[in-house]
Amino acid sequence: MARSWSFSLQNVLLNRNLRFVVSFCGILAALWLLVFIYKRSALADSKIQSISSSLQQQQRYFKSRPAASQDPPHELFLHYVRFKPDDADGVTLRFLDYLSVMSAVQRLKPDQIYLHADMEPTGKYWDELSSRGWIKYVHRAKNFSLTGRIKQLAHIYHVSDKTKLDILVEYGGIAIDWDVYFVRGERIRRYLWNHSALTCYGDQDGYNLGLAGAWKTSRLLHAWRRSFQVIYSKDWNFNCGDVQKYVSEVFAEEVYVVDRVCNNPHPDYQLADFFQQTGKIHWTDSVAIHTYHRLWKNYFVSSPEDLKKAPPSDYKELLLTIYENRTLPAEDVTFNDRVDPLAGIDF
């Protein structure tokens, strides 16, 4: 018993030395670990800093660099395209077409409006617009050669879609459909001042070629046009709508995706509101309205008399505003018409 007591006392004494040594080593190890961690994190910090500063430099580079390789164009051109149907003798400019051009004259005020067509139109509306110098006819054949795998476009719509993009590459400016009417069109000039492309939001699947704008040098425009030769699809909406959305994502830095134009009214579910009701569609603050009137078969406005007789609707208000060159209500400054093409993508 005594032995074991003295033995254990010795143990305790020994342990005390041991404890001292162990604690000493422990403290040394802890100090070393602290220094090690500190050094590692300082290294990591400096790595992170150098990565983030190089990212910032890159971002600065891309931001300071114009979105396309040139300065914004000094002049703004507006382009219409019209090809004569094969079975027609000529082309007449109709009242609704005339109103679209007038909406541009009043509310976009481009430096020049061009009609690219394979035949000069006729009719009193054409005579009035062209004699006043508001629109200029430029001859353009319906044919073009495709140099990619695709040698022929399947659908007549694709011919004018591709022609619109060809024209933007040649001239720059804005290309629109005849059923697009400018409202707060003046803002477009501002958007194209520091964005080399403007695309028109449709829905979450695809955009719309009712209105498109670009500098001649826009990378988005060139990539989009090229799609007709390399990833062309017979689905009529693919190259004009789906590819437009796709290139807007790829060139998100240079594009202004405009909202409340090609989806206001929306062709799938708001046409009745627009053509039969008043106050349902907030159209007075959009830069333009794509009416899709060919989809609304209930009536067709072919003259000022037709327009005045038409039942009340937002559509009628829009057309009368142009026909009578009415003053718009005060602008809603909170109106947002920009869509982030990358919204909803989880990076």
Ligand X SMILES: *[C@@H]1O[C@H](CO)[C@@H](O)[C@H](O)[C@H]1NC(C)=O
Q: Which residues bind ligand X (CB under 6 A)?
A: 105-106, 141, 143-145, 194-195, 325, 327
CA 322, CA 333: separation in Å to the nearest integer?
22
3-class DSSP state for residue 274? Answer: helix
| Paired tokens of 305 | 């008399």
Q: How far is the CB of 274 from ligand X (least distance, A)?
A: 24
Q: How far is the CB of 258 from ligand X (least distance, A)?
A: 14
CA 171, CA 152: separation in Å to the nearest integer?
24
Q: How far is the CB of 202 from ligand X (least distance, A)?
A: 22
**Comparison of 105 and 200: residue with beta carbon closer to ligand X:** 105
Residue ranges with strand state E in 57-207: 77-82, 112-117, 136-139, 173-176, 180-182, 197-200
**Chain-centroid distance, C-alpha 192:** 11
Phi/psi class of residue 142: alpha, beta or left (left: φ > 0; alpha: ψ in -120 to 50)?
alpha
CA 345, CA 239: separation in Å to the nearest integer?
22
CA 277, CA 281: separation in Å to the nearest integer?
9
**Comparison of 122 and 325: residue with beta carbon closer to ligand X:** 325
**Comparison of 203 and 317: residue with beta carbon closer to ligand X:** 317
122-161 burial, b at 16+ Cβ within 10 Å, e below that, comes to: eeebbeebbeeeebeeeebeeeeeeeeeeeebeeeebbbb
**Comparison of 4 and 327: residue with beta carbon closer to ligand X:** 327
**Comparison of 117 and 281: residue with beta carbon closer to ligand X:** 117
Q: Would you say the C-alpha torsion 20, 26, 32, 37 has a positive or negative sign?
A: negative
Angle, CA 234 vertex, CA 229 and CA 239 arms, to 5°: 55
Q: How far is the CB of 180 from ligand X (least distance, A)?
A: 18
**Comparison of 76 and 105: residue with beta carbon closer to ligand X:** 105
Q: How far is the CB of 340 from ligand X (least distance, A)?
A: 12
Q: How far is the CB of 204 from ligand X (least distance, A)?
A: 23
**Comparison of 20 and 144: residue with beta carbon closer to ligand X:** 144
Q: How far is the CB of 327 from ligand X (least distance, A)?
A: 6
